[in-house]
Structure 1
Amino acid sequence: MTGTETQTERPEAYLAGIGTFLPGDPVDNATLSKVLGVNQDWVEAFIGTKTRHFAKDLSTGEVQWSLADLCARAADRAIEDSGIDPAEIEFVVMGTATPDTLMPATVNHVVDQLGLNQLPTYQLQSGCAGAVQALDLAHGFVTSGRYRTGLVLGGDVCSKHLDVHMDFSTVPPSELVNFVLFGDGAGAAVLSAEPGARRIAVHRVLNRLTGLGRAPGQVIEWFGIADRNSDKQAAKEDYKAIEESVPVMAVEILWELLGELDWSAEQLDFLLPPQLSGRMTKRIFEQLGVPGAEEVSCVAETGNNGNALPFVQLERLAARIAPGQRALGVAVESSKWIKGGFALEMV
């Protein structure tokens, strides 16, 4: 490049539309406590989550929505919110920890429900950071100029691990807590090279594995035909490690993003903290130490629905943010200690 040449400015990516879908009516702690036979006061004190949504009927165990159903409904709402023609979507990328099947990938069932075809699809197998990983991939596609418009999806159906007919008195506490902590849901965003009506620019996306040499904080087993009747616990967490590590990692993510953008904490108008549970999220937000930023959280009302959470936060943010305001989202995945985050500004 000669001295007279100027480098082409890298394209920006924008959240042009956002949509979410939570199945059924909210299930409160009193209702869930009766099903599980646990103390309601313990749920409210230890977890701090008031309600959650399930894709199955708790009284019968009947599955009413698949993950693909939830994601397709969220996608419809995001596309409608963006005002684009669905035919303009050039790629779809999805993050989930609970796919409907290993094959076909759930993202392809979603695309089929949307009536789309002849476009690349991607599915990322990941927990709480999966939505950010999907956003990272889509952000790279748009800012590189490879595509102009894409659809980002995230969702989980955690109730697939909940058998309402089981004897919960025999379930160990380390497994029982999952049934009060988690919920189901899906979210979607249209990412575009054009500002659209939302005019929310995605300036940075952080996506980094940091768990070298560390034991997983969360494990979800996959059972094949040979071991599906085994006694292995389907989902388990190291809550002590999670409670110790996630707040520390959240602070590191916050300051790393601020440093990359040359933003000060005082310039933040909104902060989207990790959504573990009502109690843990409150603790993490306080530890982040940005009192001038407004908290945007949802987990106390939605339950921990995994990859849907960032989209629910984004939907709530979009209703509050004004031109010139900035927001920063933080996500931590404890399965193998992944740092995730994103920085937004309404232009």
Structure 2
Amino acid sequence: MDNAAHVSVLGVGSYVPTKRLTNAELERLVDTSDAWITTRTGISERRVAESGQATSDLAHAAAAAALEDAGTLPESIDLIVVGTSTPDHAFPSVACKVQARLGCTRATAFDVNAACAGFLSALQVAEQFLRAGGATRALVIGADTMSRIVDYSDRTTCILFGDGAGAVVLAKGERPGLHATVTHADGTHYEQLYVHGGGSRLDTEGERPRIKMNGRAIFPLAVRAMISVTEEVLAKAGKTLDDVTWLVPHQANQRILKAVAEGLNVPETRVVSTIRDYGNNSAASVPLALDLAIRDGRIRRGDTVLLTAFGGGLAWGGALLTL
């Protein structure tokens, strides 16, 4: 591959709100228990945005951290892509709000929506811009404020989701970083995981948007999709699992993480899990887990990391990168 086509990872950052929502607090809202939640999901608590916080606030904080980590000035960024399914408004995009707050005066900016796979879709879009010469430095963000669309009377979904954001800075460069990306979708399964209300179907006008999920159906679909896309992205990059230092999957459910690891024959000691303290952060979960594992020393410079995610759409994807 020509050096001009390399895409390097310059920096990583994340942000979570300070407010915690514990299992004990959920026990007071719905008919559930800490033991049941922990056993079924592996989650003990999740972060929830304050009433004055929106997705762009979380995204801005994560982006600023990634830029600092990269040693990159905002004005050098010429592309911002945000993966989110909980924007502040129908429009403008979260990306445009982040662009203005950071002062990325040269950047074009837009959002993509692939639910929990949104960050990987945004990463692939940015990769194509960089490889084709449409941008030289890109800011890719996954951010969601899931607490705004969670139904806290539905014990099957409210126990899962938290709020957060994660970001990476990419650039055309001489050092290989992002080896390959793959994304897929299958809209025939959309009713298994979707948001009821809040869009142009006015039969729900006036109702608060809320998540609807068929967990029994989603579990096997998610496991199969993340295993297959992992194998596909490795083949595309000309690598094997032996070349991978860490697997960073979407933090949907600890049982799903375990099933994916077993299906790939990857030891759980090589799988990054942050779900106990943060829950499922939708599009933010993969970049947030990546950054947290870097900050606590698990992932180090030079490690090769495989990212994979699955979400509503249905949509799924994978990416292989070396830090």
Distance in 1 of aligned mates of 2:285 and 2:272: 11
Instruction: Give the secondary structure class of the aligned counterpart of 2:158.
Output: helix
1:180 aligns with 2:159: yes
Q: Is the 8 A contact 2:44 2:276 kept in 1?
A: yes
Residue-by-residue CA offset, 1:280-301 (whole Å, 9 max, x unaligned): 2233222221239711122222
1:253 deviation in Å? 1.1
Match of 2:170 among 147, 172, 191: 191
The partner residue of 2:284 within 305, 308, 323 is 308
Question: Within the alignment, does 1:112 sit opposite 2:89 as a pair?
Answer: no
- After TM superposition, list the pairs within 5 Å mapping 1:114-133 onto structure 2: 114-133=102-121
1:59 corresponds to:
none
Matched, 1:157 2:145: yes
Aligned-partner Cα distance in 1 for 2:136–2:16: 29
- The structure with the largest helix share of the pair is 2
* Mapped partners of 2:268, 2:29: distance in 1: 41
Instruction: With the length of structure 2 as denominator, give the TM-score of the two structures.
Output: 0.90
* 2-structure distance, mates of 1:233, 1:20: 26
* Cα distance, 1:292–1:182 mapped onto 2, change above 3 Å: closer
1:219 has 2:194 as partner: yes
- 1: CA distance between counterparts of 2:59 and 2:302? 31
RMSD: 2.4
Other-structure match for 1:235? 211
**SS where residue 311 of structure 1 aligns?**
helix
CA contact 1:99–1:156 (8 Å) conserved in 2: yes
- What whole-Å deviation, never above 9, does each CA across 1:115-173 have from its counterpart, x for those lacking one? 3335311111220111001000111111222221111111110111357xxxx6xx4xx
CA-CA distance at 1:26 after TM superposition:
3.1
Q: Which residue of 1 aligns with 2:222?
A: 246
- 1:104 positional shift: 1.8
Partner Cα separation in structure 2 for residue 242 and residue 16 of structure 1: 35
| C-alpha spacing 1:112/1:322, structure 2 compared with 1 (3 Å) | closer
2:44 is aligned with 1:50: yes
* C-alpha contact (below 8 Å) 2:85/2:115 kept by paired residues: yes
State the secondary structure of the residue aligned to 2:234: helix
Identical residues among aligned pairs (%):
27
Q: Which amino acid aligns with 2:84?
A: T
Would the aligned equivalents of 2:197 and 2:209 in 1 still touch at CA under 8 Å? no
Q: Give the aligned residue type for 1:328.
A: L
Segments of structure 1 that go 5 or more residues without pairing to the other structure are 1-6, 57-62
Secondary structure of 2:267's aligned partner: coil
Quick check: 285-294 or 135-144, which moved more? 285-294
Does the 8 Å CA contact 1:266/1:290 hold for their aligned counterparts?
no
The answer to whether the Cα contact below 8 Å between 2:308 and 2:319 also exists between their aligned partners in 1 is yes
CA shift for structure 1 position 37 = 5.0
Matched, 1:266 2:254: no
Change (3 A) 1:215 1:189: closer
Give the length in aligned residue pairs: 319
1:279 aligned partner, one-letter code: R
Which of residues 123, 128, 146 in structure 2 aligns to 1:140?
128
CA separation in 1, counterparts of 2:302 and 2:195? 41
Larger radius of gyration: 1
C-alpha distance in 2 between matches for 1:246 and 1:81: 32
Partner of 2:15: 21
Alpha carbons of structure 1 residues 119 and 10: separation in structure 2 relative to 1, 3 Å = closer
Q: 1:10 to 1:55 in 2, by over 3 A?
A: same
Q: Tell me what 1:60 maps to.
A: none
Secondary structure in 1 matching 2:198: coil
